[in-house]
Each structure stands twice: as structure tokens, then as C-alpha cells.
Amino acid sequence: MAKSEWYKNMSVYQIWPRSFCDGNGDGIGDLWGVLDKLDYIKSLNVDAIWFSPLFPSPNADYGYDISDYMDIHPDYGNLQVFRQVLDGAHARGMKVFMDLVVNHTSDEHKWFIEGRKDKNSPYHDYYYWRNGRTTRSGRRLPPNNWSSVFEGGAWEYDASLDEYYLHVFAKKQPDLNMANPRVREEVKNILRFWLDLGVDGFREDVITFIAKDEGLPSSYPPLPVANGYRHYANRPKAHEYLKEFKREVLDFYDCFTVGESPMTTPDVALRYIDEGGDKVLDEMIAFSHMEADCFMLDMLQLPFNLVKMKRAFSEWQTKLQGRAWNALYIENHDHPRIISRYGSEEYRTESGKMLAAMYILQRGTPFIYQGQEIGMLNTNLTELGMYKDVMAQNNIEVATRFMPRSTAMKLLARSSRDNARTPFQWTDGKNAGFSEGTPWFFVNENYKEINAAQQEDDPNSLLNFYRAILKFKKETPVAVWGDYKEYFPKDKNFRFLQLREQLRHHERLYLAAV
Ligand code: GLC
Ligand code: CA
């Protein structure tokens, strides 16, 4: 039986649960809050909800460090209320997708705790535990030169075992050893658990990182951030593991999968999603269009470059045309707010509508991130202590190697993921209607002007534009199935102009700093 392709004509609303809606007044968003807002979500004309991790987690990376894959974090509720949300979504014709985070667990997951106690435990080999290297002078070095994305080196030493464990992200996020068949069995059990409960698919976190090159070789020349990625991003085994998950589990359910794929080109993405090839995922989450005002990382900011953005979109659209389906997005929990980046805070409604139309009408499945539909903007964090994101500290440490702290703090304020994680602005009332208690994170000061209630009855609001365009997309075959064509030929001077812009930008940064 050919798998049905309902995902090609759907749009998805992403919920980052901690900041969506607090139903029990403890200041933290939860599933009771979601239950209360299901009609609102449905009113946007979306077809599905993707939940950022709802599982028990010590929150070193706000849910992306999981300590139990088969339960709900008590902050968010329990399995009963999750079932209510699931039923409520289904009753309204909406699917529900979970976040599958299996590149790493929390260091508080029982597998890690057990494996750390004893080298002979079967759980020891669930992770990458390795001996260190020693220099000729007897100095101890980690097993290789990789750096982590979030916190310094990629290895953490454990004195009781006299071994290091690998963490490509934070120290509290040890990488799972997917080469171990037992780990893959665990992943299959997790998939089955949620599918049997009735969920309709998964967004798969950094899924292109799950296979590491054998022997974990050092990487040269070393990069200041994410050094080593060429030995863990898109390695051939990643496809093999995904194929196994598909063959043994996913193929038995009518479910959807979208893989997050940092640093992946459309050509590489096609290895996973080509319908005429060895397809193991339905869609891939691209990154290049989110780099039109920065270099690779949000922190390395540049002026917005329209041509760069257009090129990125065009490349994915044209390369995937007729072969695979795109995931379309301009915001999620990992990026600052789009109007503050690619639009204009002054003309927020106008630029918000322009950005919405620009991406939703491309070929693919649109994803809308909570608050995007009402034009929420970046917040203003002035001191390091105000940030919640584990990345902030690391970004400042790296940045201050190259620039004065004051400049680094400015760059951080504009680029931090925390910009997207402030509580949802429902009303102009207390705490923006997010919570009766004290919100876990600052509410953006602009909530009196920007909130859902105020836009509800205004036919020209951004909120109502999102509703209209998502309806239009759904009902207009050409907006779903039409081909993408670029009307303006590529600018031959592009590289030169880009370089000139970059040099000017750095000159400005330098002058501002001295
Ligand atoms: C993904 C998530 C991000 C998380 C990281 C590590 O990029 O989207 O929020 O911090 O993976 O799990
Ligand atoms: Ca709560």
C-alpha cells in the first residue's frame, strides 16, 4: 500500500509548551492551557500541532534533554491530560506530532545514570564513553578535538570511570550511541509507544547527527564552534538507522516524519526524502533561508540580504520540485522573531503579512510558530543573568574572544533564542493573559499593543491574515501543487555585493566598538 500523502496539503502549528498558556497558575505553560486553546488553534486553519518536547526533563535545554521518553513532564501535566489534548485535537480534525529527541538524552536519564555507575553495565555502551589521550608531557586530553554546539569542548571527564563522554550539545545532553543495536531498539519502542497512543508523527530533532564516524576522529582544521561536525553530520549510517526505524515501525502506521537538518544542502536532504529514491523521512527542516542576516549562526550577524534569502528558498524549491516535499518555516523556538529580523518592527503588520505570504505560498508544508501569527517581536534582555537559554553563556564566551563584551552583548540580545520563548501574548491584561501566577520568563513589554485578543476582531490584523492565507492555501490547488519559478535572473554581481556588504558591516561593528 502506498502511504497516504495528507501531509502535502497540511499546515502545522508549533507549540513550545512552557510559554504557550498556563492552565493551573504556576507560571509555566502546560497541557491544561493547551486544552483551553484548542479552538483558537483550530481557528487558524491549521491541520496539525507539533509539540516541542513535553517529556520529563531537568530543562538544561528546556525539554531537549529528556530523562524519560514515555511520560509527560509534571510541569505540563500527565498522560491523562495529554490524551485529552490528543482526543480534543483529533475531534477538531487536527493531527498531533511529538518531538523525537534521540541524538542525546539528559544525563539524568536512567540509561546514563546506570551506565555511569559501572563500565560493565549494558547501559554503558548506550553512550560514547572513551578513554582520554595523554600528551608526551603527561597532560590529559579529551578523546578528540571536537567542540560542542552549546558548551565548550564536546567531552566531559568522569573521574570515577576515568573516561570521557561525548556531548555534541550541552554537558547535560550526552549523545546516544546509535551504533549500538540496543539503543535502536529503545528508539523503536519510543516510536511505538507514542504511535500506539494515537499520535500522528514526529519532528525528529537533529536527526542528521545520529551517526558518528567510526573511531570518532579529530577534525582539521579546527573550527571555533561545532568543530567535528563533518564527522557527525549526515554520515551514511544515519540514513541506514532511519531506514530501520521506518521499515520496522513507521511503515506500520499512517504517520508523518520531518527531520531537523542543520548544515544540510538540498542535495544531501534528497538522500533522505527523495520520493523516487530511498526515502526515509517525509520532509527536512532546512536552515539556509534563516541565514540571510547572519553567517551560519544567528550570533554572527550581518545586514539582511534579500538576494541571499531568495537564493536559499529558490535552491530548495527547485531542487526538490517533483522529487520531494519542503517543510516551510520562518520561525521556531531556535530563532529570534522574524519581523524583528527580516521585517520591520515599525511596520510590523505590513511586513508580517508580506513574510507570511512569501513563505506560505511556496511549495511545501507551512509551519507556524506560536506567536508568529500575532506578530510577536524580539524582547530586550540586557544582562546575561536575564537569559534562560544555555546557549547564551557559551555564545558570549566565544564572542568575547573576538570582540568587546558590550558588542557581544548587543549581538546576543538580537540573536538569542530566548527572543522566541517569552510567554504568548493573549490579552492586554495581567501577564498578557498567559498566567494567573508569576510567569517563569519575562513577558514582552509590548503586550498591551501586541496581543491575540486585540487582533481577534480586526479584519486587517496579522492574525486574521494568517487565518485567511492558510485557508486560501488549503483551498487553492495551485498554492499547494503549483510549481515554483523564479522570475528574476540571478544577479551576477551577487558574490561581490555580498562581500562588500559584509566588509562594511564589520567596519561598522569595529567603529562602534572602539
Ligand atoms: C535542536 C532543537 C534545539 C535544541 C537542539 C539540541 O536544534 O531544535 O532547540 O537545543 O536540537 O537538542
Ligand atoms: Ca502551569
CA distance 112 to 95: 33
Per-residue CA distances from 179 to 125, 156, 262, 421, 469 (Å): 9, 20, 21, 34, 44
**Residues in the chain, how many?**
514
pLDDT reported for residue 299: 82
Return the axis-axis angle of helices 266-273 and 306-320, rounded to nearest 10°: 30
Instruction: Output helix, strand, coil percentages for the chain, rounded to the nearest 5.
Output: 40, 10, 45
Among the bound ligands, the one closest to the CA of 208: 1
Mean pLDDT (10-residue bins), the chain, 514 residues: 81 99 98 98 98 98 98 98 98 98 98 98 98 94 95 95 97 98 98 98 98 97 89 97 98 98 96 97 97 85 90 96 98 98 97 98 98 98 96 90 92 96 98 98 98 97 98 97 82 67 68 60
Inter-residue contact 480 to 470 (CB < 8 Å): no
Q: Name the residue type at position 506.
A: H
Atom of ligand 1 nearest to the CA of 391: 10
* 206 Cβ closer than 6 Å to some ligand 1 atom: yes
Residues designated as active site: 205, 260
Among the bound ligands, the one closest to the CA of 149: 1
- In the sheet with 201-204, reading across from the earlier edge strand, the strands are 283-285, 256-260, 201-204, 95-100, 48-51, 12-15, 365-369, 327-328
* 151 Cβ closer than 6 Å to some ligand 1 atom: no
The residue whose CB lies within 8 Å of the most ligand 1 atoms, and thus the one to mutate among 264, 334, 394, 418, is 334
Alpha helices in 371-493 (DSSP H): 390-399, 405-415, 452-456, 462-475, 477-481
User: Would you call 484 exposed, middle or buried from its count of C-beta atoms within 10 A (0-12, 13-18, 19+)?
Assistant: middle
User: Would you call 81 exposed, middle or buried from its count of C-beta atoms within 10 A (0-12, 13-18, 19+)?
Assistant: middle
Rg (alpha carbons) of the chain, rounded to whole number: 23
pLDDT reported for residue 1: 36
pLDDT reported for residue 511: 66
Residue-wise pLDDT for 475-514, tens only, equals 999 999 999 988 765 666 666 766 776 677 666 666 665 5
* Sequence-ordered strand ranges (E) for 12-170: 12-15, 48-51, 95-100, 129-130, 133-134, 140-141, 155-158, 163-166
Strand pairing category for 201-204 and 95-100:
parallel
Residue linked to cell 538569542: 416
Q: What is the DSSP letter of 167?
A: -
* 62 Cβ closer than 6 Å to some ligand 1 atom: no
What residue's CA is closest to ligand 1, atom 3? 334
Q: Which residues contact 42 (CB under 8 A, 6 or more apart)?
A: 92, 93, 94
Element of type H or E holding 362: none
Q: What is the DSSP letter of 104?
A: B
Element of type H or E holding 261: none
pLDDT reported for residue 500: 74
* 61 Cβ closer than 6 Å to some ligand 1 atom: yes
Inter-residue contact 249 to 192 (CB < 8 Å): yes
CA distance 255 to 103: 21
Ligand 2 (single-atom ion) residues, CB below 5 Å: 22, 24, 26, 28, 30
